[in-house]
Chains A and B, each alone.
Chain A
Amino acid sequence: MSPTMNEDHFNRIIARYARPLARVAAGYASHGHQQEDLLQEIYFAVWQALPTFRGESRELTFVLGVAHNRGITFAARANRREFATLPETIADPRVAPDAVLERREEVERLYDAIRNLRPTHRQAIMLHLEGLSGKEIAAAQGTTENNVNVRLNRARVALREALHRGGQQDA
């Protein structure tokens, strides 16, 4: 592939999959600047891996596979297994929490819960939420579809419990 073709392909991929890639970054890094760093690392990894894409899988599967692999090494380099803190609520008593803020906090809790899942469960549930099939997730994880189903079920249980706990704490 010539450099120009690679650049065009890369442009299309970033434009098309920026949101899923940003969600992967949020699933591995807890703070804003870390997420930005990881997203740049993911873009670079996609750039490096692009010449190896031969169309054996969907483009989304390829891109997310690269992103998750980069997320794993990023987490290893950052050496972080800390818990993310929720953004502080507005201190001004005259401003009541609105639906948008509540929704945002729910989303933060979901990402927080995902970051605290075991790597196999985290990767499985994130790929599942992006629309990958059991077969595609199994290929990305180098395992069987049965194993993927087990991991997804356990991830759902863990997430439901974490979100339920988080909701109770805010009540």
Chain B
Amino acid sequence: MPERVPPQFDPSSLWHAADTPPVGAGETVRAVKHAQLRLILHRVVELGVPLAAIALVGLALRHASTPPERIFGAFISLGVVFAWARYLRAIGLERRSLAGPSPGFVSAALERCAYERRLAIFTWVILILELSFLLPWWIEGLPHHKGQGLGRLFFLTLWLPLALMIALAVWSIFLWRRASREAIELRQAAAELRED
């Protein structure tokens, strides 16, 4: 059955009636600056998070007393690098799909969300492993170093690892929640884009 075409309904005049004032040079310069700053921020996060994770593993390795522990720590570091490289690949795929058809872009965005969730879970696993390794050492070592809470040793072996772990935990929880919510909406968008 042919679709019924609304006679003489053309919202074009209303659509173009909402024109905003012409863009001045100031607006374009501001847009460029914003875009450049956001790119820098993205690069900082892309580099900072894996570095923080590897630094955490490195700090824990300072307490590693046996070769198997050191090998395990090195293995975890490699795992972090590999996981992060895969994540950057998913982000890159989404960026390259930006200018393409919407169904392909939404698929890439969904894949990026799925990878973000996996990355968050991987971070929790690492944090649990780190905690299981560091906690007994802290509990055993703290009574022997009373009064040295602000010293360099404490900073490197307690405060810094603790701060990094909390930062990574907060970041990964935020990542998982955002990715989960976004994935629900994107799956609906993907289904709607396939209809008609």
Contacts and interface: CB of A to CB of B under 8 A. Distances in A.
Do these two chains interact? yes
B36, B99, B186 pick with most chain A CB within 10 angstroms: B99
A70 B98 contact: yes
B184 to A, nearest CB: 8
B27 interface: yes
Contacts of A147: 196
Contacts of A53: 99
Contact of B34 (A44, A106, A150, A160): A44
B3 interface: yes
Contacts of B182: 73, 76-77, 79
Interface in A65-101: 65-66, 68-70, 72-73, 75-77, 79
Interface in A134-171: 139-143, 147, 149-151, 153-154, 156-157, 159-160, 163
B91 to A, nearest CB: 10
Contacts of B99: 49, 52-53, 62, 65-66, 69
A110 B9 CA distance: 12
B100 A19 contact: no
A44 B98 CA distance: 11
A146 to B, nearest CB: 10
Interface in B102-137: 102-106, 109
Q: Which of A14, A111, A123, A140 has the most CB of B within 10 A?
A: A14
A72 B99 CA distance: 13
Contacts of A153: 3-6
A79 B185 contact: yes
For B3, B36, B100, B102, the residue with the greatest tally of chain A CB atoms inside 10 Å of its CB is B102
A79 B179 CA distance: 12
Contact of B189 (A45, A66, A70, A119): A119
A107 B17 contact: yes
Contacts of A19: 19-20, 23
A118 to B, nearest CB: 6
A156 B6 contact: yes
Contacts, number: 152
Instruction: Describe B's contact surface by its main secondary structure.
Output: helix
Nearest to B5: A153
A134 B186 CA distance: 25
Interface string B1-26: 00111100101101111111011010
B101 A141 contact: yes
A40 B34 contact: yes
A47 B12 contact: no
B196 A120 contact: yes
Given A107-B18, A156-B9, A159-B11, A142 B185 contact: no
B44 interface: no
Contact of A157 (B6, B18, B28, B95): B6
13 contacts: A7-B32, A11-B29, A14-B23, A15-B23, A44-B35, A68-B102, A73-B182, A77-B185, A129-B16, A142-B102, A142-B104, A143-B196, A156-B9
Closest 9 CB pairs of A and B: A142-B101, A76-B185, A18-B23, A47-B35, A49-B98, A153-B3, A142-B103, A69-B105, A14-B28
Interface of B: 3-6, 9, 11-12, 14-20, 22-23, 25, 27-29, 31-32, 34-36, 38-39, 95-106, 109, 178, 181-182, 185-186, 189, 192-193, 195-196
